[in-house]
Amino acid sequence: MAQGTSPGGITQTHTARGVDDGIGTASRVTGRRGLRQNTEASGTRSGYSGYLLEDGAVGHTSNPEPRLKSGHYNTNYGNFQKELYSRIRRDAYGDDIGQNSWLTAEEQDSFLSRLKLCPGKRLLDVACGAGGPALRIAAKTGCSVLGIDVHPDAISAASSLAAEHRMVGLAEFRVEDAARSLSFPDSSFDAITCIDSINHLPDRRAVVSEWVRLLKPAGRLLFTDATVVTGPLTNEEIAIRTYAGFYLLTTLACNEEALRQCGLRKLAIKDVTQTMAESAHRRKAARTAYESELRAIEGDHTYETQQNFLAVVGRLAQERRLSRFVFAAEKPGDLRKQECAAISVTEAT
């Protein structure tokens, strides 16, 4: 594939699930105490499960085994290469790079400037989905990419896409659960990315610590968190925003503390909520334009649930109540090499 060529991708379409789950709408989430009150009050009703972590993050799911229920996402990957969904991505994002998140091509290019990737470097893309964004990175930088995802259908779609674009030598995709210890040796990668998916992993510090293990000295980490609590939220809004499975709602401080405790050097933290707001609005509008075709594929309930989801995401982002941030950090370099370099300089002088 020529440099800059964008492979086809996937838009999120969701399995049917109503938002009337028995959770009332009276309580509001306003901070650490509000989150605790909300989860305790709702934790025993209608299968809702919420819990407060020690750093103020809230895990929320309405499924008893959320990470084992893959039908929602497998439906997406089954529609991945349909022309209709590619058309929707083009209408929503301008460029179809195979994204199933809020990512745009322009935003990905800005992220790449932080990663220092080039031929000979190796990137791990966590929760790679159907692989489109990872393949675009490999095409633009010449680095090799290993993408992992918990959903077998996603990996099948990604591998097929890599073969279609003759990138098998640069890109590999494997089924791995990023919520657990990964199967790779220490210091395996020059960079790690996780775009709009870290909120599906239950233990922020453990996840970041595992990524630090996999990074080479001076390796770069970049991830986006699309569910950072920055304002009051009703439990009905949370139910709609998190209907697809397990979500971890965090604060900005929670993410910063995880980076610090894992020994990473912070490079940049940037509010990219507006991109999420615009992507959600455009995706909803693009899907509305093809409503009859989508209803025939997805069914009425799934179509309406997805449209409602996009409306809530867009509104919460526009009002800066549930925000999206990008975090870039670096693993400290090899101190022994630094000391040797310092000795060499001293001897030379």
* CA trace torsion 308, 309, 314, 320 (10° rounding): 120
Residue with tokens 């990604």: 158
Q: CA–CA distance from 15 to each of 114, 288, 306 (Å)? A: 35, 17, 8
Average pLDDT score over the chain: 80
**pTM of the full structure:** 0.79
Question: What pLDDT is stored for residue 40 in this prediction?
Answer: 32
Average pLDDT over residues 53-59: 50
123 pLDDT higher than 80 = yes
Question: What pLDDT is stored for residue 74 in this prediction?
Answer: 55
47 pLDDT higher than 50 = no
Residue with tokens 């940037």: 270
Rounded Cα–Cα distance for residues 99 and 97 (Å): 6
Average pLDDT over residues 271-278: 97
HSE-up of residue 211 (Cα within 13 Å, Cβ side): 38
Average pLDDT over residues 54-83: 55
Question: What pLDDT is stored for residue 98 in this prediction?
Answer: 82
Instruction: Give me the CATH code for the 28-348 domain, please.
Output: 3.40.50.150
Q: CA–CA distance from 276 to each of 10, 272, 317 (Å)? A: 16, 7, 7
46 pLDDT higher than 60 = no
Average pLDDT over residues 246-268: 97
What are the pLDDT digits (tens) for 149-178? 999 988 998 999 999 999 988 999 999 999
What are the pLDDT digits (tens) for 311-342? 999 999 999 999 999 999 999 986 444 333 33
97: left (phi over 0), alpha (psi -120 to 50) or beta: alpha
Lowest mean pLDDT among 26-40, 198-212, 216-230: 26-40
What pLDDT band is residue 75 in, cutting at 50, 70 and 90? low
Rounded Cα–Cα distance for residues 157 and 131 (Å): 8
